[in-house]
Amino acid sequence: MHPKHHAPSLSALCALLLVILLGGCAGGLSFGPGKLAPSRMDYNRAIQRSNNEEMLLNLVRMKYFEQPLFLQVGSVASSFSFNIAGGVSATLPDHRSLENGVYNTYTPNVSGQYSDSPTVTYTAYQGQTYAQQFLAEMDFDRFVMLYKAGWDIEYLMPILFVRFGAIDHGYDARNGFAAEQHSRFKSLTEILARMDDRGDLDILKVNLSDNSTATVMSMEFHNATEAGTVQSLLGYDLHVMMNTAGHYYSTFRLVPTSTLGHAPKDADGLPAVPLRLRNCLRAMDYVAQGVEVPKNNLARRMAFDMRQHFLKLCDIRVSESEPPESYLAVRHEKHWYYIRTEDNVSKEVFQLILNIFSLQSADPPKSAPVLTLPVGGG
């Protein structure tokens, strides 16, 4: 009796186990739910970083007087498949071979295949979409929405305000601001930022009792001196009054106007102060003035270093090599431009310009928070 007579039964057992495994895969093994979570997060992170890098690259382009280009992610589709197959081949000798010690031969085999096919659709902004996104001035509804969302007035004012009261905050990318106008604007921004921190500033959309709507700014002043300073800087009489608590305050309408125009007189008893907001393209250009320019590029007059004329909002550094640690970095021509990880102010301002960019692409809010004010001075 041969001692190897157990080998055929062992091979048969392996084959049986293989069949059971394949049957289990075919019957109930599913990769869909397990694949969804990690793949969705991967695409989320990839798109977010791609959007951030695209914005930073376009800020650098604008610093060098180049046309920005944005590609909108239209859709993201990903299909994945997992196939597994197996089988068993066998060699079955006749009984005469068994007498010579030749036994059945079983050869199991398993094969698998996995594929992941992502499809991303991009659309360039052009035509009416481009005009709405970049060239249309931001309206007051969107401005109020940003303020109510918690963005600091010390960021919103310099980035968005072209004119406020009698202050012209326009600039030229070669020569900067008019010195006297810019000094007044910085002083006013600092006062309103402190007022906002105290909780004494509010900007909101209101319904007047004559069924018209208005955007109003409400201020409560620290003292009479602050009230006088704000009026002097704005160049407008704000009709400052004193409430029952003995605090000076003013509520006035913000009215849209061109840089050269004048605010009309208001018939509802509220003083009117002109305000003109930048469009998205000009807001981006303002932030782009924080880009550091290499000395050789300055010497060739490829760009102008205007950072000393601007409020220190977004500090975008330059390096000849890729920075080892940065919040965000992109390559343009021969240099790397980046925002430092520890620069929280620049990171916050960068997120604001992304929000402005996204907000301009959407329809204006249909139902802004409203407050009813009586018509008349009483």
Averaged pLDDT, 15-25: 56
Residue 214: the pLDDT is: 87
Please give the pLDDT value at position 343: 94
The amino acid sitting at 326 is S
The answer, yes or no, to whether residue 98 has pLDDT greater than 90, is: no
Q: What's residue 5's pLDDT?
A: 46
Using DSSP, state whether 219 is helix, strand or coil.
strand
Ranges of H-type helices in 203-343? 224-234, 280-288, 295-299
Instruction: Average the pLDDT over each of 2-16, 152-166, 309-323 and give the range with the smallest value.
Output: 2-16
Q: What is the pTM of this model?
A: 0.75
Please say if the pLDDT value at position 71 is more than 80. Answer: yes
DSSP letters, 76-96, are EEEEEEEEEEEEEEEE---HH
Cβ atoms < 10 Å from Cβ of 254 = 22
| Distance from C-alpha of 352 to C-alpha of 346, rounded to nearest angstrom | 10
Q: Confidence band (pLDDT; 50, 70, 90) for 378?
A: very low
Q: What is the spatial distance between Cα 34 and Cα 98, in angstroms, rounded to a whole number?
A: 50
Beta strands, E only, the chain: 71-91, 105-124, 161-164, 167-168, 201-208, 213-220, 241-242, 248-256, 272-277, 317-319, 328-332, 335-339, 372-373
Single-letter amino acid code for the residue at 113 = Q
Quick one: pLDDT at residue 173? 78
Q: What is the mean pLDDT of residues 373-377?
A: 42
What is the distance between the alpha carbons of residues 318 and 337, in angstroms, rounded to a whole number?
Answer: 5
Looking at the chain, the whole-number percentage of residues with pLDDT higher than 90 is 47
Q: What gap in Å lies between CA 260 and CA 246, rounded to an integer?
A: 38
Rg (CA), the chain: 34
Read off the pLDDT of each residue in 213-240 and give the average, rounded to a whole number: 94
CA distance 251 to 327: 41
- How many Å apart are CA 101 and CA 119, to the nearest integer? 59
pLDDT tens digits, 159-184: 999 999 999 999 887 888 888 999 99
